[in-house]
Amino acid sequence: MVEMGQAPIRRVRYLAPGPSVGDIEVTTLKGIRDRGGTQEFLTPQRLDFDLLVHVERGATAHTVDFTVHPLQPGDILWVRAGQVHQWGEIDDIEGTVILFGAHTVDDTARDLIRARLVRSQSHWPVLDLDGSPVSQALELLVASAGRRPEERSELHQAALAHALAALLVQLALVEPSDGAPARRSTHEAFGWFRDHIDEHFRDWHQVGAYADRLGYSTRTLNRLARQNTGLSAKELIDERVVLEAKRQLSHADVTVAEIAEELGFDDASNFSSYFRRQTRMTPGAFRSQSRMRTAPAT
């Protein structure tokens, strides 16, 4: 299933279990445990594919980019490519697992999902899913994947891709049950801004650079950012820079100076000052605290 890099970060890429399986694989938690071995699930991972888990039995906690999600029967977890995640007690849960490359979802569905989920959502509790068509969409996907290997074809792969897109769209349509305001699709310019942040946050730290590239004023980008997230445009940029810094500090064997250079800072001192303003911790203190939390039990 995977190949892994050197500790402490486990970079994981998808390897199909056989020639009959394409870029969408529907399996089980038991299946990936048996295939990968227990050591694979003990330390944080950074995937180059998307992972969707539907918990059917048991309970655990799963961490995605420093947020802990308690998982119960009926819950769904979506870990996206590039995110850093850590399994909890994977032996304590059973359920369905879908592994897929982001490219397997058609552009229209992907763009609509991104417009709907302004903040990438990782966890859907069973209470939120109650009454939605998500369970039916999941059943369709599992049934579409259930053909014998000799029956699988390009048409079968197309059916899988459409069933996967339907499941992800239905997830995006789920409204939270906690009384939060109903979601609404974002303005396309905000989507462009968010995409540009993901692409250029290492080099562009100021709103003006994005405004110049997108052809909008900084005032417009700030208005769109606040309408959709409650944060300013600069705060969104800083949020992305800090997330990557935290990932590197927690899961990579690189110096603070190397992280500073990768993230576009003139020197380690400027980066350290910036990180401390954003998090109220020095990079060294954050690294120590994070690694203590994520160290596997011995």
- Identify any residues that bridge with 10 across adjacent strands, giving them in sequence order: 45
Who has greater pLDDT, 164 or 42?
A: 164
Contact yes or no for 14/99 (Cβ under 8 A): yes
- 3-state SS class at 208: helix
Spatial distance between the Cα atoms of 218 and 227, rounded to a whole number of angstroms: 14
> What is the model's pLDDT at position 294?
56
pLDDT in tens, 114-154: 888 888 899 999 999 999 999 999 999 999 998 666 666 78
* DSSP β-ladder status, 76-79 and 123-124: antiparallel
Instruction: Return the structure tokens found at 8.
Output: 């402490």
pLDDT in tens, 173-220: 998 876 665 556 678 899 899 999 999 999 999 999 999 999 999 999
> What is the model's pLDDT at position 296?
52
Helix/strand/coil percent split, the chain, to 5: 50, 15, 35
Residues near 241 by Cβ (< 8 Å), separated by ≥ 6?
201, 202, 205, 263, 274
Domain boundaries, the chain: 2-173, 188-294
Residue 297: is its pLDDT beyond 70? no
Confidence of residue 1 (pLDDT cuts 50, 70, 90): very low
CATH fit for domain 2-173, picks 3.90.1640.10, 1.50.10.20, 3.10.450.40, 2.60.120.280: 2.60.120.280
For residue 8, cis peptide bond before it (omega within 30 degrees of 0): yes
Residue 89: is its pLDDT beyond 80? yes
Angle at 30 between CA 27 and CA 34, to 5 degrees: 100
Question: Can you give the pTM of this predicted structure?
Answer: 0.85
- 3-state SS class at 186: coil
What is the CATH number that goes with domain 188-294? Answer: 1.10.10.60
Calculate mean pLDDT across residues 9-35: 85
- Identify any residues that bridge with 53 across adjacent strands, giving them in sequence order: 77, 97
Instruction: Return the structure tokens found at 264.
Output: 């576009």
> What is the model's pLDDT at position 4?
38
